[in-house]
Amino acid sequence: MAFLHCCHRVVSVDAVIWGGCNVPGSSRTECGFPGITASACQAQNCCFDDSKADMKWCFHSRGSMFSGACNVPASRRKDCGFPGITQSKCLDRMCCYDTNAVGIIQCFSQA
Protein backbone atom coordinates (compact mmCIF):
# COMPACT_ATOMS: atom_id res chain seq x y z
CA MET A 1 0.00 0.00 0.00
CA ALA A 2 1.33 3.45 -0.87
CA PHE A 3 1.48 6.15 1.75
CA LEU A 4 1.27 9.88 1.18
CA HIS A 5 2.32 12.63 3.57
CA CYS A 6 -0.34 15.14 4.29
CA CYS A 7 -1.12 17.57 7.00
CA HIS A 8 2.14 16.86 8.69
CA ARG A 9 1.30 13.19 9.23
CA VAL A 10 1.44 9.99 7.23
CA VAL A 11 -1.85 8.43 6.20
CA SER A 12 -2.77 5.63 3.85
CA VAL A 13 -4.50 6.39 0.58
CA ASP A 14 -7.59 4.74 2.08
CA ALA A 15 -8.01 7.67 4.47
CA VAL A 16 -8.74 11.33 4.06
CA ILE A 17 -5.46 12.61 2.70
CA TRP A 18 -5.12 16.02 4.20
CA GLY A 19 -7.30 18.52 5.94
CA GLY A 20 -7.00 21.90 4.28
CA CYS A 21 -10.08 23.38 5.95
CA ASN A 22 -9.35 26.93 4.80
CA VAL A 23 -11.85 26.65 1.92
CA PRO A 24 -13.74 29.71 0.63
CA GLY A 25 -17.51 29.42 1.00
CA SER A 26 -18.09 29.32 -2.75
CA SER A 27 -15.72 26.33 -3.10
CA ARG A 28 -17.11 24.20 -0.28
CA THR A 29 -18.48 20.76 -1.13
CA GLU A 30 -21.22 19.61 1.25
CA CYS A 31 -20.27 16.81 3.62
CA GLY A 32 -23.24 16.83 5.94
CA PHE A 33 -26.77 18.15 6.11
CA PRO A 34 -28.44 21.32 7.39
CA GLY A 35 -28.17 21.47 11.17
CA ILE A 36 -25.35 18.92 11.51
CA THR A 37 -23.32 19.34 14.69
CA ALA A 38 -19.58 19.96 14.73
CA SER A 39 -18.91 16.57 16.33
CA ALA A 40 -21.05 14.68 13.78
CA CYS A 41 -19.35 16.53 10.93
CA GLN A 42 -15.85 15.91 12.24
CA ALA A 43 -16.70 12.24 12.84
CA GLN A 44 -17.04 12.02 9.05
CA ASN A 45 -13.51 13.48 8.68
CA CYS A 46 -14.94 16.73 7.38
CA CYS A 47 -14.39 20.38 8.23
CA PHE A 48 -16.86 22.39 10.30
CA ASP A 49 -17.25 26.18 10.27
CA ASP A 50 -20.54 27.76 11.35
CA SER A 51 -19.26 31.34 11.41
CA LYS A 52 -21.39 32.36 8.39
CA ALA A 53 -25.04 31.37 8.17
CA ASP A 54 -25.16 31.50 4.35
CA MET A 55 -22.32 29.00 3.76
CA LYS A 56 -22.01 25.23 4.03
CA TRP A 57 -21.01 24.45 7.61
CA CYS A 58 -19.89 20.86 7.11
CA PHE A 59 -17.70 20.46 4.05
CA HIS A 60 -14.93 18.39 2.52
CA SER A 61 -11.39 19.63 3.00
CA ARG A 62 -9.22 20.63 0.08
CA GLY A 63 -7.54 17.56 -1.31
CA SER A 64 -9.75 15.08 0.50
CA MET A 65 -10.26 11.59 -0.89
CA PHE A 66 -13.80 12.76 -1.66
CA SER A 67 -12.41 14.76 -4.56
CA GLY A 68 -9.82 12.11 -5.39
CA ALA A 69 -7.20 14.82 -5.35
CA CYS A 70 -4.37 12.70 -3.96
CA ASN A 71 -5.34 9.29 -5.32
CA VAL A 72 -3.84 10.03 -8.73
CA PRO A 73 -1.84 7.73 -11.01
CA ALA A 74 1.59 9.08 -11.94
CA SER A 75 0.47 9.72 -15.52
CA ARG A 76 -2.24 12.14 -14.33
CA ARG A 77 -0.22 14.12 -11.79
CA LYS A 78 0.15 17.86 -12.37
CA ASP A 79 3.40 19.23 -10.97
CA CYS A 80 2.67 21.47 -8.01
CA GLY A 81 6.20 22.19 -6.89
CA PHE A 82 9.77 22.28 -8.07
CA PRO A 83 12.75 19.91 -7.92
CA GLY A 84 13.72 19.37 -4.29
CA ILE A 85 10.55 20.88 -2.78
CA THR A 86 10.10 19.89 0.84
CA GLN A 87 7.01 18.20 2.19
CA SER A 88 6.19 21.30 4.23
CA LYS A 89 6.41 23.68 1.26
CA CYS A 90 4.34 21.30 -0.86
CA LEU A 91 1.58 21.08 1.76
CA ASP A 92 1.65 24.86 2.20
CA ARG A 93 0.65 25.04 -1.48
CA MET A 94 -2.36 22.81 -0.68
CA CYS A 95 -0.90 20.00 -2.78
CA CYS A 96 -0.33 16.27 -2.28
CA TYR A 97 3.11 14.92 -1.36
CA ASP A 98 4.25 11.37 -2.13
CA THR A 99 7.47 10.30 -0.42
CA ASN A 100 7.46 7.00 -2.31
CA ALA A 101 7.72 8.78 -5.66
CA VAL A 102 10.94 7.88 -7.45
CA GLY A 103 11.33 9.31 -10.92
CA ILE A 104 7.81 10.77 -10.90
CA ILE A 105 6.24 13.98 -9.65
CA GLN A 106 6.42 14.08 -5.85
CA CYS A 107 4.44 17.28 -5.12
CA PHE A 108 1.29 17.23 -7.22
CA SER A 109 -2.36 17.92 -7.82
CA GLN A 110 -4.73 16.15 -10.16
CA ALA A 111 -4.23 17.08 -13.84
Total domains in the fold of the chain: 2
For position 3, which CATH number holds? 4.10.110
Range of the domain at 109: 1-18+68-111
Question: What is the pLDDT at residue 37?
Answer: 93
At 3-57, the pLDDT tens digits run 444 433 333 332 223 447 878 888 788 888 888 999 998 887 788 999 888 888 9
Three-state SS string over the chain comes to CCEEEECCEEEECCCCCCCECCCCHHHCCECCCCCCCHHHHHHCCCEECCCCCCCCCEECCECCCCCCCCCCCHHHEEECCCCCCCHHHHHHCCCEECCCCCCCCCEEEEC
Mean pLDDT taken over the chain: 73
Q: Say yes or no: 47 and 83 in one domain.
A: no
Q: Given a cut of 80, is residue 99 above it in pLDDT? A: no
Q: Given a cut of 90, is residue 104 above it in pLDDT? A: no
Question: What is the pLDDT at residue 59?
Answer: 85
Q: Say yes or no: 32 and 14 in one domain.
A: no
Q: Given a cut of 50, is residue 107 above it in pLDDT? A: yes
At 62-87, the pLDDT tens digits run 655 444 457 778 888 889 889 888 87
Q: Say yes or no: 109 and 83 in one domain.
A: yes
